[in-house]
Amino acid sequence: MVNLCGAVSSSTYQIRFSGTFSSRLVTPPSSSIVLHLHQGRQRKIRTVSPCQAVGSASEPQLLQDVKAKASNAVKKKSSFAIESLTTWLLKQEQAGYIDAELTIVLSSISLACKQIASLLQRSSIINLTGGQGTINVQGEDQKKLDVVSNEVFCNCLRSSGRTGIIASEEEDVPVAVEETYSGNYIVVFDPVDGSANIDTSLTTGSIFGIYGPDEQCLVDLDDDITLDQAREKCVVSVCQPGRNLLAAGYCLYSSSVVFTLSIGKGVYAFTLDPAYGEFVLTHEDIKIPKTGKIYSFNEGNYDLWDEKLKGYLDHLRQPRADGKPYSGRYIGCLVGEIHRMLLVGGIYGNPHNKKSKNGNLRLLYECAPMSYLVEQAGGKATDGKKRILDIKPEQVHQRTPIFIGSSDEVDKLQKFLA
């Protein structure tokens, strides 16, 4: 920074520079100031007019240059600018993209994710590893953290006062929130995706989707209908196609904790800053590349797949024009696979096979929210025949095959499956 103005004598000016420049006192002639600048072995001499009032027409050129650079720096987004998830949500509310109630629901979900991240980091210390000794409605062994994380989500959503119905992987049926705390929104979620990775401290995540109330849920209790019947209709209204989603996202628990979200206006990711416990905007308006170099399939099931899908995988293993085949990556956590894909492109597949005729993933609270995110980022998602977001679940825990990722990669897959 150059300081040409200030309290100086009439005959002597002190010129100060930051960085590697050195400065010295000079005695200027009546019409000019001579600056002797030294950097390494080079010596530069510049002549400027005496210091004038800031903003005058005869401002020194050097000072004008400094001001111009400062002005440009203000126009650019500072690398130190921090925008928290809370601030971002309030801006979306002010812009009319979401209402105040949805802002509260999303804030409650982010709080649940912070709590789950803390539990995961301390799971070995506080004895939350291993199985719970119970089996969920899908016939899967429940981990201790599955059960605890489900309670965390439910408690945060209830306390928001804006949630009417909750549907979770760990609940047999959707749950109507008590009337005291009830709101309008329907929230579906998988509290811990990839829970088999917990005991080995590998990647896990949480997935969520938010729907508005279905018409079946808007019941006039003055009619000949009981409160229990009204709740039953609301529970049925949970099974909506993914295209009805108002918002969806996931939270990645890995080397960083990343909360990724879409409200129908693109995809944004916020990284948890442990210094002050806030999610901070780190990835703005994510766009998935149209092509990718990575495929994510559980190839241990290769012999159980149909011949068309085998042909597609065989194609990926062959060298491309650049002489290299696709790279296979498989984490065993849908959140981890999708997060990588959003940033670098590629394709993920969880197809049906001879043992699982409908695939392994649930449509309502896993495939639909992730498909919503990927489409918002410019990608595609299909069950091999139909767009995932167009499929209406018949049951809460209905499963579906899914192929999801870069648009060109999904198109290529569908040609093989046709």
The predicted model scores a pTM of: 0.78
Q: Going from the N-terminus, what domains does the chain have, and what CATH number goes with each? A: 1-76 (no CATH), 85-283 (3.30.540.10), 294-417 (3.40.190.80)
pLDDT at 324: 86
Q: Are 277 and 310 in contact (CB under 8 A)?
A: no
pLDDT at 207: 99
Is the pLDDT at 169 greater than 60? The verdict is: yes
* Most confident stretch, 14-18, 176-180, 222-226, 239-243: 239-243
pLDDT at 5: 44
As a whole-number percent, the residues of the chain with pLDDT over 90 amount to 62
pLDDT at 70: 54
Is the pLDDT at 330 greater than 60? The verdict is: yes
State how far the Cα of 190 lies from the Cα of 171, in Å rounded to an integer. 10
Q: Quick: pLDDT tens for 7-42.
A: 444 444 444 444 444 444 444 444 444 444 444 444
50-62: average pLDDT: 51
State how far the Cα of 375 lies from the Cα of 407, in Å rounded to an integer. 9
Is the pLDDT at 201 greater than 70? The verdict is: yes
Which residues in 229-384 belong to E strands, given as ranges? 245-253, 257-262, 268-273, 278-283, 294-296, 327-328, 347-350, 361-362, 380-382
What is the pLDDT of the chain when averaged over all its residues? 83
Which of 7-11, 224-228, 339-343 shows the lowest per-residue confidence on average (mean pLDDT)? 7-11
**Where do we find the tokens 């500072």?**
78
